[in-house]
Each structure stands twice: as structure tokens, then as C-alpha cells.
Structure 1
Amino acid sequence: MLKAIQTILKASNLYTGAIDGQIGLGSLRAIEAMTPETAKKVQKILQDAKLYTGAIDGAFGPGSYEAFNSLIPKPTITAEALKKIYPGANTKFLQYINALSAEYGINTKAEVCLFLANTLVESMGFNAKDLRENFNYKPENLQRTFKKYIGSVEAAKTLIAKGQPAICERVYGGRMGNGVGNGDAWKYRGGGIIQTTGKTNYTRLSKAINEDLVNFPARIAEPEIAVKSALFYWKDAGCGKLAKRMQITECRKAINGGSNGLNEVKDYFLKAWNYLY
């Protein structure tokens, strides 16, 4: 079926590669560039395979992409490919992503590529130093990041002088299940590849992955647990469906709360698509 789609793309002068059923970056670019008439032909193939139930209208949107992506199986992320996607990335997390992703519903290339892109951005290449939230801010950046809780740059300077746990107490104390003045804010600061924050979320994650992160929150930085925490968040936030529907912006918002890092995610997604098979 993928070969048939490539044949249509080639006949439309959108694709110049081999008819091999390997949906690399060239094939993806061709899909993105389809005219409505070409898109209708691809939609018809997907409809005949009972993968697509929408209209044959040439508008290759989320539903069409979901059907198309269901045909492209999950690739294994190799250390060699990761180094091409993100030079300098830590490879010790890959064994857990490859082994556990299917358990959390990741079964297509689109899901693997977008999960990888987002987690690379969130963890700065799976950097072990960035798997617990760091409050080593300059005053201006601290105030800008947490302006709801820190009213001025001068207040930020005063807070910085008191140390990172004090900053954490100001911005996280008394919310997200944390107590006030009891160390919860620092203990349950952001942790993992997609950072889990707050005692409520640590408690929920502990139950979901059967690990005691309430009493031992520092374990969230361990590679296997860091990966499990990210996969749990990904599944819980419905990111898999967004990935299959190529809703990259919406997926980024579900993970980060906005568009911060979106351009980097798009870049790593395309690189992952190019290098993973």
C-alpha cells in the first residue's frame, strides 16, 4: 500500500525516490506538497483499506494523516541515528524508549519521531544534569519566567541570594499538592525527561508506573524511570493521537503549555523522520 502511494506521488512529479515502501523524508515532503487531486487518490487508497472514513475531498488533514501514519511502523532508535539527529545526545536512554514505547501506545513512526523530538528539547539531549529542574537563573530571567510569583527583578535578586530551595518554595510552595515551608516544593520540583512537577503529580506517576517517587523523588532522574515518566505523560496527555495526525503544534502545547521550543521540535522531528527506519 505504501508503494502504491509512492507510485501516485511519483506520477504526480512530487517524489523522485525509489518505490520501496520506505517512507522517508522525500516521501513525507511529497505528501505535504500534494495537490487536491493527488490527495484524493491517496485518500481513496486509505479508504479502500478501511483506514480512512472521511470525505474524499483532497484536503489531506489530520484524519488523512492519521490513516496514512498507521501504515508506517515504529522504527528502532539507534545510537548512530540519535547522534545525527542531536549531536551530543546521551544514548543511554534509548534502550528504555525502544523497549517500553509500545507499552504506552507508541506504534508508528510519527509517534516515535515526535516523542523523540519533544523529549530531546525538554531534556536538552537527555542531559543527565537537566533531569531535575534547575533554578540557577539570572534575576531578569527568573522574574520573567515566574512573574506571577515574583513581582520585580529586585525581588528576584533577593530570592536568588537565599538559594534555589527558597526560589522553589516561592514559586511551587502551597500548590500542586505541595505543602508550605516543609520542603515539598524543592523535593517535588520538575523531574524526568518531560518534567513532572508537584507532589500531586509525583504521587499520580508513582501509582501509574509502580515506583515510589513520593518517598524517593530523586529517582525520577534515573534513565528507566525518566523514560517511563515521559511515556506516561505522553499517553495521558493524548499526544500519540496528535502525533499520528501530524498536529505538532498542538502536541507541543500539551507537553509544554505553549509554543516554547516549537521550532526546535519541528526541526528534530524532521531529522528523526529522515534518519529513523
Structure 2
Amino acid sequence: MPASIRRGDHGPDVRQMQDRLALRGFPPGPSDGIFGRSTEAALVAFQRAQGLLPDGIYGPRTRLRLDPAVALRRFEPAARVTAAMVARMFPATPAGNIARFLPLVLDALEASGIADKPMVLAALATIRAESESFLPVEEQVSRYNTSPSGHPFDLYDQRVDLGNRGRPDGARYCGRGFVQLTGRANYASLGQALGLDLVRDPARALEPEIAARILAGFLKPHERAIKESLLDGDLLRIRRLVNGGSHGFGRFADAFLRGYRLLDDPVWPAGELDALIRARPGLRSA
């Protein structure tokens, strides 16, 4: 069975899907082996009932819910992401950094169950936007975090939206890692999720393996929203889901689009995204 089936496909695999939909109470009409509009509508209704992304594509996750007894062939684009490919997404980054730390990032995404094409590209594009050197880095003092006559990161000290409680929280919980984890609350929640006390020892967010796990842990709750945004061609929304704003969007979009065209995947083909991007000309700049 192919990795995914969508409208326009036909054959015994489509007929089997139609039969399963009917058995589960989502009749698609005749089981004729033709994936038409009525079959797509029934599939979307099933996906919504299951809390799945209602994209009308019969992929591995939908197949597992519809026919859990079937032996699924694992389809993991991450297994085909190479350092050479990622270097083309990071044209200004030393190739040695990518070769050294890419395996840690891919392992973390795989462990979190988000090693498919959209999430791998969201992770890599986030690194391009926030730590283009492909190294876990610490935020530097700038006008965005430090007042003209203040101590380093004083503009973060009173950021209750970040969970900070006053000096020295601004400097103690400044941005670190691949994803620039920032604020006491984020250090606490991500640390708890990873079984680490990052509140007591925030510098651990710079350790490469932990930084990779933090990146995956930060993206995981946004998986559905990221994929729904991608279906709309809305890369700016994907950036905002991670960053909270549009900072670094130019680098993010450039890396995402390069990777999308380089990484072959029948579920998320490059041509469809290109069409969506052409329809949203404002996506290339923040």
C-alpha cells in the first residue's frame, strides 16, 4: 500500500479504504475504488471525528485509526534528511556544524513522534531563524532585551508573560539553545517535560542533546496547527507559532521553502506548496 492516498487515486487500496469507512459509519458511497469527492468528504468527516488533521489524505495516522490491524509501512522523511541536503537550506552555515548536530535534532524529533516532512522542516527552519550557525547559542545583549542604561536583559526582568519575577530572571532565563528558550515559565515547563530541572540549572539548555530535545518538545504541541497552516501555505503563521512574532521570518521562509523542494514526499508534494505560496505573495517577507 502506498504511503498515502488522496483524491484522484484509484484501485484496490482505495476500495479497501472505502469499505473501512462504511464499516465505521462514514459511508463514502459505492465502493468502486475511485477516490472522488464523496470519498474525500467521508474521509474528512472521519478525521474530524478522530481529532486528526482533516486534510482528506489517507496517510499513516489516519490509516492507523481507521484500520488499526493493518501492518503499516513506516514512512519517515527524516531518514532521508542528510547533512548535504540541510547545507543547501543553510547556505551561510559551516557544513561541519550541520554534520555534527543534525543527527541529534533528527533523533529528538523521532523520539517525539514528529519526524515527518512538515515538522522536520519547521524544526530546521526554526534553527535557521534563531541560531543560523547550527549551534546551541545563548542570546546576546541587544536593544530588544536591554535598556540604554540598564543591566543586561533588564527588559526581561519584569516580563510576567514569560513567568519572570524580577532581577535576575531576565539574564538567568535569557534565550538559549537551538530554539532560544526564553523565560522562567518556559524553562520550567520544558524542563518538566524532559525530566530536567532547567529552572535551577538553565545553562543546560545549551547542551546539544538537551537543546535538540527542547526544540522537539517546543514544536510538538503545535504539530496540528503547523500542519493546518501549511495546508494554507501560511508560513508566517508557522513562524509565529514558535516565535510569537515574525522575527527572523525571512530566514525561516527561505530555509523552509528550500527544504520543501529538496525533500521528496508523496503526502506533502512540493508543487502544491509552490502554488499556495504564489497565491500569498506576502509570505516571503515579514
> What is the TM-score normalised by the length of structure 2?
0.62
The change in CA–CA distance for 1:69 and 1:255 in structure 2 (over 3 A counts) is farther
Q: Which amino acid aligns with 1:85?
A: M
Mapping of 1:136-147 within 5 angstroms?
137=142, 142=143, 145=144
Would the alpha carbon gap of residues 188 and 65 (structure 1) be closer, same or farther in structure 2, given more than 3 Å must change? Answer: farther
> Which residue does 2:103 correspond to in 1?
95
Alignment of 1:179-198 (within 5 A): 179-181=165-167, 183-198=168-183
Residue in structure 2 matched with residue 123 of structure 1 by the alignment:
131
Q: Which residue of 2 aligns with 1:274?
A: 261
Kept in 1: contact 2:44–2:55 (CA 8 A)? yes
Residues 259 and 177 from structure 1, CA distance in 2 versus in 1: closer, same or farther, beyond 3 angstroms? Answer: closer
Structure 2 matches for 1:166-177, cutoff 5 A? 166-173=151-158, 175=160, 176-177=162-163
| Offset at residue 69 of structure 1 (A) | 9.7
Q: Which amino acid aligns with 2:227?
A: K
1:83 aligns with 2:74: no
CA drift at 1:217:
1.1
Tell whether the 8 Å contact from 1:86 to 1:268 is kept in structure 2 after alignment.
yes
Q: Matched residues, percent identical?
A: 25
For 2:58 and 2:243, the matched residues in 1 are separated by: 26
Structure 2: gaps (5+ residues): 10-33, 47-52, 63-74, 265-286
- 1:212 aligns to what SS in structure 2? coil
- What per-residue deviation string (whole Å, max 9, x for no partner) do you get for residues 60-102 of structure 1? xx84377679797433321111112113252222112221213
| TM-score, normalising length: structure 1 | 0.63
User: Cα–Cα, structure 1 residues 134 and 110, in superposed 2: closer, same or farther, change >3 Å?
Assistant: same
Tell me the SS of whatever aligns to 2:152.
helix
Identify the structure with bigger relative contact order (alpha carbons < 8 Å, sequence gap 6+): 1
The aligned amino acid for 1:52 is V
Contact 1:122 1:193 in 2 (8 A): yes
Would you say 1:74 and 2:77 are equivalent positions? yes
When residues 42 and 115 of structure 1 are mapped into structure 2, their CA distance, relative to the original with a 3 A threshold, is: farther
* Bigger Cα displacement from structure 2, 191-200 vs 170-179: 170-179
Q: CA RMSD in A?
A: 3.4
